[in-house]
Structure 1
Amino acid sequence: MTMLILSQFKDDLDGYTERQLRYQAADDIWSIGQMYDHIIVVAEEYADEIKRCLASTEEQPLGKTEFGERLFQAGGFPPMKIRLPDEMNQPPNNMDKRELLERRIDALLSRLERLEPFVRSANPYVKAQHGGFGWLNAQEWYALIEMHTRHHLRQQADLERYLMEADI
């Protein structure tokens, strides 16, 4: 699923002009390009945590937070906008051209494809800590990439509506 949702976002890129990628309906609303940058950056961070789990042999008895448990039981984020605290909510890059975003997604897809067989056989008791969800193993970090990316489908629909309303 992870590869499929990222591939869908990559395919969708072909439908946007450079102007559409950078358009912001308001100062506090991301552009489509910023959403893409955020998805890629977060997925790369989660892939780094997967590598951390794969490189370790130290088992962690602690588990997920209550929110983390609910997230994984539900199989995804709740259908609502999530705003991080301002210190963790720096605006994503709004300068990448479509071709660069496509290359970044391709590189991410290749990285995840290389990691996937190792993730399947990883020790489920070797974990890395997520600030909001608790201690996650490699399989959970991998699943989190898909859940996080899928969560942004609603945002993508909103941003496309803003483009239509602005006739861009």
Structure 2
Amino acid sequence: MNRYELTHFKETLLHYSEPDLRYKCSPAIWSIGQMYDHIMLVANEYLDEVDHCLQEDGQLGGEKTPFGEKLFREGEFPPIKIELPPEMNQPPNNTDTNEHLLGRITALISRMDALEARLGDATDDRKTFHGGFGWLNAREWFELVEMHTRHHRRQQQELEGWLTQKDL
């Protein structure tokens, strides 16, 4: 049994119909499919950074920002909606089918397995930069995938609530 937070999203994906995946209660609110797309895009970006650190492409040393320190100390994102600046906040894809999303998330979990197996060889002083959290090492980037994915469970519950209301 896989222990990643992504496993929850893989399992729940199978419960949505194609129209459910694309349903938007308003233009400003993401669909469930867009949330899945976002989670996977960000996870792959973070795993790219894990790989850079493992290949020693990063720099030696570097500090986290105060927010990064707080984030890792608490082990989770704050329970608030986080809005990115407009240039970083392009709407995620809203056209993927269940089958395509399932393939993407399965491949992502396999990638996590492969990188996790290499984390034992990582040095904590080889780091790459995150714009909000500062300098992170391979283990921190890997942990960030889990924290970010877990953060979206609240969004998933909210979006499922909108689905329930649309059928009333």
Q: Judge same fold: TM > 0.5, yes or no.
A: yes
- Report the secondary structure of 2:135's partner residue: strand
- Does residue 1:121 correspond to 2:121, yes or no? yes
CA distance in 2, matches of 1:94, 1:162: 16
- Report the secondary structure of 2:128's partner residue: strand
Amino acid aligned to 1:132: G
Structure 1 residue ranges without an equivalent (≥5): none
How do 1:123-138 residues align onto structure 2 when only pairs under 5 Å count? Answer: 123-138=123-138
Give structure 1 regions of 4+ aligned residues with deviation exceeding 6 angstroms: none
- Report the secondary structure of 1:136's partner residue: strand
The CA deviation at 1:120 is 2.8
- Report the secondary structure of 1:90's partner residue: coil
User: 1:21–1:58: structure 2 CA closer, same or farther, 3 Å change rule?
Assistant: closer
The residue number in structure 2 matching 1:96 is 96
Percent sequence identity is 54
The residue number in structure 1 matching 2:112 is 112
The CA deviation at 1:4 is 2.5
Amino acid aligned to 2:133: F
Structure 2 residue ranges without an equivalent (≥5): none
The CA deviation at 1:11 is 0.4
Q: How many residues align?
A: 167
When the two structures are superposed, what TM-score results if normalisation uses the length of structure 1? Answer: 0.96
The residue number in structure 2 matching 1:141 is 141
How do 1:41-120 residues align onto structure 2 when only pairs under 5 Å count? Answer: 41-56=41-56, 59-120=59-120
CA distance in 2, matches of 1:146, 1:3: 10
User: 1:163–1:61: structure 2 CA closer, same or farther, 3 Å change rule?
Assistant: same
Amino acid aligned to 1:73: R
- Report the secondary structure of 1:145's partner residue: helix
Contact map agreement 1:120 1:139 (CA 8 A) in 2: no
The CA deviation at 1:59 is 4.7
